[in-house]
A and B are shown apart, each in its own frame.
Chain A
Amino acid sequence: MRNGGDNRGRLLLISLIVTSLFLITLDLRGVQVLGGIRSGSQTVLSPVQSVAATVFRPVGNFFSDVTHLGRTRGEIEKLQAKNEKLRQALINRKNADAELAQLKSVLDLAGTAKFKVVNARVISLGSTSSFTQTISIDAGTNDGVRQNMTVITGRGLVGVVKMSYPNSALVQLATDPAFKVGARVAGSQQIGILSGQGTGKGVLQLLDNRTTLKVGDVILARGSQHNRPFVPGVPIGEVTSVDNAAGEITQIADVKFFVNFASLSIVAVVIGAPQADPRDALVPKAPVPTPVPTVTIYAKPSESPTP
């Protein structure tokens, strides 16, 4: 130390470092020294987070919208047109309506697949400093939510429950770099492993080198043994580009997730799934173009008066 470099200071620094290394060693060996305190702190914080989510989420959504302005300009223009018609009705109920829509879509999806689900609100968006992509939800062990359960929205896979506390749970998002899920291609049933990349896209690596992917293929969760951590058939995303590099053993493709992770507010945790695999029943329906009525006008020359 420049001025205060006495032995006491050095001893303190070394003691603190040794303490932290001791904790790391214990944790990596599976001894949960402070696990109870972590769980307890979350139990205390979750009601406060829940209140803060209600109060500050509209502000958070505003910032999120500003961030994604370039990407969603087309959607914003459409919404602006709709908003013009619905402005009066949305003034007081915009937030509630959005949550209701997400809740309805997730129940539709769960109903189609006969999943037993617990609905939950997103109460926190996870750490910004540790490079992980997580959310906290307001359902926990008291609601039947356990570790390694699938989390979905009406559009598809959100992630998996990593930790569950009495009144809340931590969900690892599908975009997290450490996230991996067994996936299959709807229709062709090719299988592979999809990994999160920390962005809105995942990377799918096929397991069989004799099969091929194409842009537009829909990717579904393959499902795990006893349906944990993943129930089968949940839509994950759509192939946006395929890497056909000669050096690769199997094909790799970029997959754009169906779920918009920037605007999650209502999710559902699958706490029970039927024995039967829903197969491709949950594949999102392609938009059907609205028929435009054709108006045919027959021009009939009027009879000119003869001179």
Chain B
Amino acid sequence: MFARRFLISFPIFVAVYVIQETIVSQFRIFGSGFSLFLIFTLLWSALGTPELGALTGFGAGLLMDLSQSSSGPMGQWMLIMILAGFSISYLGFGDDNFRGNPISLVVIVAIAVPITRLVYLILGLMFGGQLGSTLEIFTSLIASGLWTVAVVPLLMPFVTRIHSGLFEDLSRG
């Protein structure tokens, strides 16, 4: 049942991924803009169980690794997204006050996005990547958090509705 519902959610992720790669990537806005796919994944993970968060991170990380603009080795995004998905769902798991409060979700996702990107950067450096301008990285991380604060409230009604439609019974059980 769990696996079936997870597989049903996969096309939704593919659709968001295609939107990210084809439409969102056309815009170069302040602070390198935002990653709709990353925000969507973390928001989705925050609403589920830790197992689901880890699985969601696995699938999302795989798609992010398949992106042609992904500079790291295959599996780097996957590893980070598994940990991010697990962590963000673990933080709110079992606390209905937390999940029921939209502000909590906005804040947790807005914090999680820059942290996820920072971990990606650090792991990339360990794999021999280049750092570039520290100021630019700092600006980009701060901006990604701010963009997330703006984007999550727009996404939340759709994500919570789809998520509850697919997983509500399971998470209650």
Contact = CB atoms under 8 A, between A and B. Distances in A.
Contacts of B21: 45, 49, 124
Interface in B72-110: 72-79, 82-83, 86, 90, 93-94
B70 interface: yes
Interface residue SS majority, chain B: helix
Nearest to A163: B68
Nearest to A136: B68
Given A12-B54, A136-B69, A131 B121 contact: yes
A51 B22 CA distance: 9
Contacts of A16: 54-55, 57-58, 82
B115 to A, nearest CB: 12
B19 to A, nearest CB: 9
Given A45-B22, A129-B38, A37 B93 contact: no
A130 B66 CA distance: 13
A228 interface: no
B120 interface: yes
Given A13-B82, A34-B74, A67 B65 contact: no
Given A48-B22, A57-B26, A63-B29, A131 B137 contact: yes
B160 interface: no
B82 A64 contact: no
A125 B66 contact: no
B132 A196 contact: yes
A17 B57 CA distance: 10
A56 B70 contact: no
Interface of B: 18, 21-30, 32-35, 38, 49-51, 54-55, 57-58, 61, 64-79, 82-83, 86, 90, 93-94, 117, 120-121, 124, 127, 129-133, 136-137, 140, 144
28 contacts: A1-B90, A4-B49, A8-B51, A13-B54, A16-B54, A17-B82, A20-B75, A21-B79, A23-B73, A26-B74, A27-B73, A35-B74, A37-B66, A38-B67, A38-B68, A38-B74, A41-B68, A53-B26, A56-B23, A63-B29, A64-B27, A124-B22, A128-B144, A130-B77, A131-B132, A163-B68, A177-B129, A198-B137
